[in-house]
Structures are given as C-alpha cells and as structure tokens.
Amino acid sequence: MKSIITLLLLIGSLPIAIASVHTLAPFQDITQLNEDGAPTRSAVGIDGNSIILVTRMNNGIRTTLWRQGARGRWAQSRVLSDVALPVEQRGADVAMKNGIAAVRVSKQRILIFERVNNDWTQTDALDDPTYTGGVAVSGARILVGATACTDGADAYIFQKNSTTGRWDITGRIDTEFPGCAGANDVDLNNTTAMIRGPGRDVQSYRRNGSALNWFWTDEFDYPAPSAGNYFPPTGAMAVQGDIAVGPGGGYMRNDGTGHWDPVGRITPLDYWTGSGRASRPVYRDGVLLNTDSPEGYRMQSELYVYAPNASGGFDHAAVLYTGYTPTDYDVSGRTVVVCSESDDIVVTDTATKVFTLPDPLVGADAIAQDFETKDVSGITQTGNAGFALTGTSQSIVLRSAAGGDAIAVLNGSNWRGYEYVEADVTPRAVASGDPWVGLALRYTDANNFYFASIHGSHEMRISRKVDGVVTTLRQVMLPFLLTETRRFTFTIDGKTMTAEVTGVDTHEQLTVDDTTFGGGRVALLTSRVRADFDNVLARQTKRFTFADRRYDDMNLYGREWAFSGSGWTEDYLGLKQTDSTGGGSAVIGVPVADQDINATLRLDSFGSANPVSSFALMARYVDPRNYYSLSVRSSGTIQLRRTIGGNTQVVRSANFVPGAGYRQYGLRAIGSELHAYVDGELLFVAHDSAFTEGAYGLTTYHAAISSSRFHASQP
C-alpha cells in the first residue's frame, strides 16, 4: 500500500498534458529480404529524402539507398555496397546527417558516403581493428567509438581534409572507463561528445580548439529510470543543443560551462499502464524518440515520440505502432524509419517501416460542443439554410432549417491523417426532394469534402463532393426515422473512411477507401431536413489509454494505485474497499487536461444513512481537497460535484439507486465541459472551469465497494 503523500509528490513532478497523443500506423513498409526471400534485420539512417539500410544478408552485409519520390513514397534507388563476410566479422550500423553517412559494414570497417549532386557517393573508408564502437554524425564531423583494450583512444573524431579529400582523425577521446566494453553508446552534437560507460556512467567532452585531444567537461550518472520496469533501459545519451536525454527518460541541461544538471524526466501519458522504460533515446530535429512498452512487464515495445515544449520539458506527442520491438530507428524532419523484430525467444520476424509524423507534432485538443453555454462562436455557418440554438437547460441543441442546405463548420479542426467526429442527431422534419442529414470530414469548401449521410430514401452513404459533383462511394439500407435520436460517427484514418450509426434498435457501419482529399475541416450538414445536433465531439487523435485496471481477465499489469484510508485491497479478483466506517481514495494517473474516466463498480454496503455514505468516481484530481466527482449517495441520489479547497458544491443531482449488481459509471472532462454517464447513458451535462487538469480515481465515505474495471483514456 502506498501513501497518498507519495502520489502527491509524484503528481507535482509530472508534466501536465494539454494536447493529445497521436497513435500512428506505418506510412510504408520497406523491409529488406535476404537471398531466401525472408525478411531480415537492417540498421537504418535517414537524411532528408534519403534512407540508407545496412542489412544482414545470408553471406554478408548489404547497404542500399532508398529515395523519396511521388506522393512521398519511398523506392530503392541502388545498392551502395555488398560485402561478403563470415558471421563473426559482420557489423551493421549507420549514422546519417547533413549529407554525410557513416556506414558500418563490419566490426572494423566503416564506409563514408557523402551527398554529391543529390546522389550518394562513397568518399572514404575507415579501417582499423579498434573501430568497433558506435558511430555518430554532427555538422561535418564523424564520431567513432573504439575498443577500450588498447593503448589507443576510446573514441575518434574524423573530419574531411579539403586538400586530400580523405577523412582524417582530428580529435580523440580517452575515457579511462574500466574493462574492455569500449565506446559502444555514443552521441555527437556539434562540438560536444557523450560516451556512455559501464552502468549509468557517462562522460562528456568538448572540442579543444585545434588540439587533438578533446577535453573532459563532466562525468555523471544519468538519472535512474522509473521504478517498476522489469527490463533496464539501454542506449546512448541523446544530445541536441543544451539538452541531453538518457536511457530511462531523465534529461539534463548544460549550464554553459560543460557541466550537465538533471532537470526532469520524460513521462508518457500511459505511464500508469507500466510504461516509462524509455530505452534507446534518439533526439534530432526537435523530435525525441525512445522505445517503451504500454505494459512494463512486456519485452515487446513500441516507438514513443515526444516534442520539446515552451517550459523546457517534453510533451508526449505520439506512439508509433511498429508491430514488433524497435531495434534501430532514426528521424529526419517529420519522417521516422524504424526496424523492428518480434520478441520470441527465437526471432521469427522482422520489419522495416517508414512513419510520417504530423505537423504540428503535438495533437490539438478535442473539440466538444454540447451547446449548453449557448456559445457557438467556434462554428462558421454557410449554405442557403442555417442553424439556430433551441431548447432549455440540459437539452439545448443546434437545429438546422429544413428548406435548403445547412453547413456548420467547426473552427480549429483543419486536420490531416486522422479525423473523427461524432454527434447525437435527431431528424425532426423533411422537405421534398432528397432530404438527408450528415457529417463531413476534410471539408475544404461547400463544394469539396467527404461526408457520411442518412437519407430520407432510407439509405446510409459515404460520399465525396468534388467541385460540386457528389459521388456515392458506398451505401447500405438504413431506416430514416423522424424524432429518434441516434449516435452518428464518421472517421477517416489515412485513406479509410468509416461511418457508424447506433440507435435504440439500429446499428449499421460502412467502410470505404479513397484518396481524393488529404485533409480539411469538420462540419455538420443537412439538406432539406430540420434536424437537431447535440453532444458533438471532434478530434484529430484516436482514443489513447492512460490507465487500465481490468480484473475480469486478470489484468493487474501496470503501476500501483495510491491509496489513502484503510480497507483498500487489490488482487486478480478486483479492487475492493471493505471499510464502511471511514473514508479513503484510490488515485492513479499522470495529470492530464482532457480525460474520459470509466469504472465498473458494485455497491457492497453503505455504512450509514446519517451521515450520508457515498462512493464516487473522480476526475481532474489535483489533491484530496480539489477535484470533480460523480458521487452515488446513500440518500438515493447521484450527484455531479466539485470539491474546491475541501468545500464541496453540488453541480447536478438526480434520484438514483445503484442496486445490487455492477454498474458502469463514467465522467468525461473536455475543456470546461463535464459529462456524467451511468451504464453508457448520458446523465448530467455541466460546464465548469475550476480545474483544468489532474489525475483520476475513486473515493469512498462510509461505503464498501468492488471494482471489476477502471479505465482512463484520451477522449
């Protein structure tokens, strides 16, 4: 059991996530095949429109050049080198930057390629039995690690001789690390070099004018990785400017004299699922990559992406789904190339894939609109009909006129890659002709967009409109029902569009591919229909799990709850609070702004009717005196509450009896919008700005409860 004080200290040290995390699929597969046609492992490097793969073939090492062409697709240009070697002599590595590529093709041989007239030409080769370590490129320099068991240096710096055209040694580094491991984990940033030694020991060096020996500036242990990770992190320090990120996610800042001070830690937003290993960091072009696992016990990992923020820290920006555990990766601009392998005891598969990162890198906040504030300044209307607000508190909707075409465009929704919109839609009346109601994505103007629609002819369609001409891409029969509210969603993921309608007795889904439009805005549409729109949600990122405690399938992986009070127990059967005579809480999560919290809970007993007993779901938890909650009360009510400085105010209330079985409770916070749910049905709508971010969890007062699942996600 952990104390709440521990959690509060941790929350204070964690970043606040204001935007959203992208979850990205590969743009292209460029996996290399060996002589038998089987996928094989490659070291990877990228520089602008060029990728170099150094691939382990059956008989040696092959180096291939890939170039980016039409529509951003990558194609193999040519073989740069093909070296036959026995297994014990093979080595594969590549560092690539600024038109220079250092390519390791054996344990002691490194080929140097340079970009000449937009092509890559070999200009030299570095051959020495001691050149066995890592390689790095920065500016016009190449850093090569060496074995530590000779009288030579532990690392060498090479620069091109403008007279001879050869790459000469212009610097050397002697670390005096113990043992013979050598400088395998190295990085170079302009005139700063970092060499990782045994354990967490790191030494930094700086160029000393024209002197051959680079001078030592600091030695330190990089910050220890987060507790609870089964496998220790690996890799070199990743240096960019005055920031160096270590394996495990701790990062340091140079004080200007060459000394490095720890200043923070990279924290993934799914940290409470068990991630945080943060292995093998790569930091380049304002993009930080590392391998991590959403469940820390697993060997299989994904590639996590972070972006530096204005406060000097890093925002969790994306997760790249590589399929297997990344073994080597690189980034240039907004393109990532990664080789990954399966994690079986015997490696059975491998893949090399290219990802395109979004720009801007950090996802925008979701757009939520339930119209309760009567503020529609975030909507731009067009068309020959229009929309207007109607209804009373808790049931205000945006209603279209029935006489023509009505278009309501959501401002700030100009997105690419992944786009999603959902709304509760209720047709009220129709005019003659072909009446329909719909949702649009990748909207450019009134004549160019994709849309999903439900028609008076009892059809559901996905269509595109190009220069005013509508083409139906796919359709299915679906009843058009006046006055029935149905949930309507429309998604585009790359080129794949999916529309889904869910009603009382209705569920239909359509999927189709198209590549006409690459991006655009979100819009609500009607044609010759009076229809109500409510509870609109639009986002450019997929749902992303922050925390998941699912006991029905014995899922206990992840980090532990922070408990306060007595009576809390957790095992494979579930989370329980057995003390119905006191109060307590169970809190979890990295503080985030937008959050969707769901728990499957059963009331076991209320301890008393006076004072009122209760159990509650908490959102945007700041500390024990500040949070929102959805509270089930022994007085026969359920309440949406806010607790500020220990003083609790009831925001919404309704009669409610939880019964004897499990019920699903939900609390969603997006911006100032708060929605509460029971068993998937919307119960309360409110707006409040007292708390803009926080963790999440459960709290009880004189109540015993059981939980079979707790789930928190990005809305």
pLDDT tens across 24-66, in order?
999 999 999 999 999 999 999 999 999 999 999 999 999 999 9
* Distances, alpha carbon 376 to alpha carbons 280, 369, 371, 410, in Å: 46, 9, 7, 9
Give one word for 336, left, alpha or beta, with left for phi > 0 and alpha for psi -120 to 50: beta
**CATH assignment at residue 223:** 2.130.10.10
pLDDT in tens, 593-636: 999 999 999 999 999 878 899 999 999 999 999 999 999 999 99
pLDDT value for 1:
28
Per-residue pLDDT at 269 = 94
555 and 664 in a single domain? The answer is yes
Residue 140 pairs in a beta bridge with: none
Give CA angle at 87 (85, 92), nearest 5°. 75
529 and 551 part of one domain: no
Bridge partners of 507, per DSSP, are 502
707: CATH: 2.60.120.560
Quote the radius of gyration of the chain (alpha carbons, Å): 29
Q: How far apart are CA 320 and CA 325, in angstroms?
A: 11
Instruction: Identify the bridge partners of residue 23 per DSSP, sorted by sequence position.
Output: 319
| Bond from prior residue into 611 cis (ω within 30 degrees of 0) | yes
In a domain, 12, yes or no: no
What residue ranges of the chain have pLDDT lower than 50?
1-17, 297
Judge whether 275 lies within some domain.
Answer: yes
Q: Is residue 179 exposed (0-12), middle (13-18) or buried (19+ Cβ within 10 Å)?
A: exposed
Question: Given strand 448-455, what is the order of strands in its sheet?
Answer: 379-382, 405-416, 519-527, 436-445, 448-455, 459-466, 469-477
If one counts every other C-beta atom within 10 angstroms of the C-beta of residue 333, the result is: 16
Per the domain annotation, does 15 fall within a domain? no
- Please check whether residues 89 and 36 belong to one and the same domain: yes
Closest listed residue to residue 415, CA positions, set 471, 526, 493, 472: 493
Regarding whether 595 and 479 lie in a shared domain, the answer is no
Q: Where are the beta strands (DSSP E) in 229-293?
A: 238-240, 243-245, 250-254, 260-265, 279-284, 287-292
Judged by phi (left if over 0) then psi (alpha if -120 to 50, else beta), residue 209 lies in: left
| Last residue in a domain, options 539, 562, 588 | 539
> Are the C-beta atoms of residues 500 and 489 closer than 8 Å to each other?
yes
Closest CA to 388 of 331, 335, 357, 428: 428
Q: What are the CA-CA distances from residue 622 to residues 118, 311, 489, 627 (Å)?
A: 54, 20, 33, 6
- pLDDT at position 587 is 97
In the prediction, which pLDDT does 224 show? 81
123 and 254 share a domain?
Answer: yes
C-alpha span between 708 and 600 (Å, rounded):
6
What are the Cα distances from residue 616, in Å, to 209, 381, 689? 65, 40, 20
Count of structural domains, the chain? 3
Residue 150 DSSP code: S
Please indicate, yes or no, whether residues 373 and 238 belong to a single structural domain of this protein.
Answer: no
SS3 content of the chain, % helix, strand, coil (to 5): 5, 60, 40
Residue 351 lies in a domain: yes
In angstroms, the CA 126 to CA 109 distance is 6
In the sheet that holds 22-24, the strands lie side by side as 22-24, 314-320, 302-308, 287-292, 279-284
pLDDT of 2 reads: 29
- Residues 548, 533 share a domain: no
Q: Please tell me whether residues 311 and 417 are part of one structural domain.
A: no
- pTM assigned to the model: 0.93
Which residue shows structure tokens 């309501």? 408
Identify the domain boundary among 291, 321, 356: 356
Listing DSSP states for 255-272 in one string gives -SSS-EEEEEE---TTGG
Query: Is 257 inside any structural domain?
Result: yes
Evaluate whether residue 11 is within a structural domain.
Answer: no
- Residue 307 pairs in a beta bridge with 315
629 belongs to a structural domain:
yes
Model pLDDT, residue 450:
98
DSSP letter for each residue of 363-401: BPPPEEE--TT---TTEEEESSS-EEEES-TT--EEEE-
**Separation between Cα atoms, residue 479 and residue 486, nearest integer Å:** 11
Exposure on the CB side of residue 197, measured as CA atoms within 13 A: 17
**CB neighbour list of residue 267: distance below 8 Å, 6 or more residues apart:** 14, 15, 249, 276, 316, 590
Same domain, 579 and 515: no
List Cβ neighbours of 338 (8 Å cut-off, separation of 6 or more). 44, 303, 320, 322, 326, 328, 329, 330, 352, 353, 355
Residue 309 and residue 375 in one domain: no
Domain-terminating residue out of 293, 323, 356: 356
3-state secondary structure of 89: helix
Tokens found for residue 48:
């602008």
Q: Are residues 292 and 403 in the same domain?
A: no
pLDDT at 6: 30
Q: Which amino acid type is present at position 678?
A: V
Domain assignment present for 13: no
Q: Rounded distance, CA 446 to CA 62, Å?
A: 52
Judge if 164 and 127 occupy the same domain.
yes
Strands (E) located in 565-613: 568-571, 574-577, 583-592, 595-606
pLDDT at 571: 86
What is the pLDDT at residue 230?
58
Q: What is the pLDDT of residue 578?
A: 96
Coil, helix or strand at residue 4: helix
Domain of residue 283: give its range.
Answer: 21-356
- At 323 the pLDDT is 86
What is residue 450's DSSP assignment? Answer: E
- For residue 173, the cross-strand partners are 155
